[in-house]
Amino acid sequence: MQISRPTLLLDEKKCKANIKMMADKAKKTGVVLRPHFKTHQSHEIGRWFRAQGVTKCTVSSIRMASYFAADGWEDITVAFPTNVLEINEINRLASVCKLNLAFVSPEAVRKLKAGLVRPVQCVIEIDTGYHRTGVAPDDFKLIDSILAELKDSLVAFKGFFCHSGQSYNDRSKEAILKTYRETSDQMKSIANHYREAFPALELSMGDTPTCSVSADFEGIHELRPGNFVFFDITQRVIGSCTNDDIAIAMACPVVAVYPERNEIIVHGGGVHFSKDTLKREDGKVVFGEAVRLNDHGWDAQLLPIYAKSLSQEHGILYAPDSEIGKYKVGDVLGILPVHSCLTADAMGEYRTLDGKLIDMMPKAS
């Protein structure tokens, strides 16, 4: 493939294998897969999930719900505390799909109800230890106050969900499984408390580490992982995947080489990767890791080259003495991203290995 500028390559085969892996696991373990589409933000890739029998999805904003509803998704969970200011779009969406909205306070329910003209469903977020948003698992008073607000409203209670983001601090399969057990136990305990009043209540969990590693989701109704569609080097360090599972890589033209300071400068910066960093197994903080591009994508083996810093358009790569002499202006290096969700969002489109462009939800309105 002819690369002339920073290009987000998508290995369709690896991506579809990741999708199939999670869809198969869901079928085998008897849970519903409601994948988080904030990672890929793409109609086309959404259809690859549909081809695996997936009919429900998760998004992180009302705008993203509208984008996927426009491509025929009819059951969408917005896994973000409901922004009551978007009432108009919520009403419109609720007329075209089954819309599940997240709540963490009775205030948000009260404000939403005031303007709601279509039925929606409520999922209550439980904070199982990540401490970003959600109700504490033992705060039955707060849960009860949310449930009380739902009474005689267009908002029907559907169940509880959590995002165990603390799994991103884990660094082994064993640690991830421990996080899964701790968080799923909290969820099941809440369900036990409310099962009598709400026999049909559902429990939903979702984060790529626990969903990738766990093989048993007993007592859980639904999984909402997102990142696994591409994975990234952060997921490898956590223990969710191998380098070979990573389905996207940025192709970056080499524009300068500084052997005296072991640096290769590529076109590929913060506007391409975004700026998340990863503390690797060896303690180094990196913005991406280099791979050699080949005729079929990129080599499975990492190069001993990594992005040590990024400015808006520049990527500054460290290359050891043994490597620095091999690269020259006009070459193209592949860089595996630290955080595939933010990198995809920053790029706005993918290019498959056979050169096809895949578009994403546009940034602008």
Contact positions vs its own copies (CB under 8 A) = 3-5, 38, 60-63, 80-86, 88-89, 104-105, 107-108, 111, 131-133, 165, 253, 255-257, 261, 265, 267, 270-271, 274-276, 311-314, 316, 328-330, 332, 341-342, 345-349, 357, 359-360, 362-365
CB of 25 or CB of 111, closer to its own copies: 111
CB of 23 or CB of 266, closer to its own copies: 266
Report the largest interatomic distance among the alpha carbons of the chain, rounded to a whole angstrom. Answer: 72
Min separation Cβ 323 and its own copies, Å: 18
CB of 296 or CB of 363, closer to its own copies: 363
CB of 151 or CB of 363, closer to its own copies: 363
Q: Are 142 and 161 in contact (CB under 8 A)?
A: no
CB of 105 or CB of 153, closer to its own copies: 105
Min separation Cβ 320 and its own copies, Å: 19
CB of 62 or CB of 211, closer to its own copies: 62
Q: Hey, which residues does 250 pair with through a beta bridge?
A: 8, 335
Min separation Cβ 304 and its own copies, Å: 22
Give the residue among 38, 85, 88 at the shortest CA–CA distance from 64: 38
Min separation Cβ 300 and its own copies, Å: 25
CB of 168 or CB of 298, closer to its own copies: 168
Min separation Cβ 341 and its own copies, Å: 6
Give the residue among 124, 128, 132 at the shortest CA–CA distance from 186: 128
Per the document, the length of the chain is: 365
Amino acid identity for residue 133 in this structure: T
**Strands, E assignment, the chain:** 7-10, 32-33, 57-59, 75-81, 98-103, 120-125, 155-162, 202-205, 222-223, 248-258, 263-267, 278-279, 285-286, 288-294, 297-310, 314-318, 332-337, 349-352, 357-359
Residues with Cβ within 8 Å of 62's Cβ and at least 6 positions away in sequence, in order, are: 78, 83, 86, 89, 90, 93
Min separation Cβ 355 and its own copies, Å: 12
The gap from C-alpha 349 to its chain's centroid, in whole angstroms, comes to 16
CA distance 297 to 295: 6
Q: In three state form, how does the secondary structure of 198-228 look?
A: CCCCEEEECCHHHHHHCCCCCCCCEECCCHH
Min separation Cβ 113 and its own copies, Å: 13
CA distance 76 to 57: 5
Min separation Cβ 21 and its own copies, Å: 23
What H or E segment, with its residue span, contains residue 116? none
Min separation Cβ 87 and its own copies, Å: 8
Q: Are 217 and 206 in contact (CB under 8 A)?
A: no
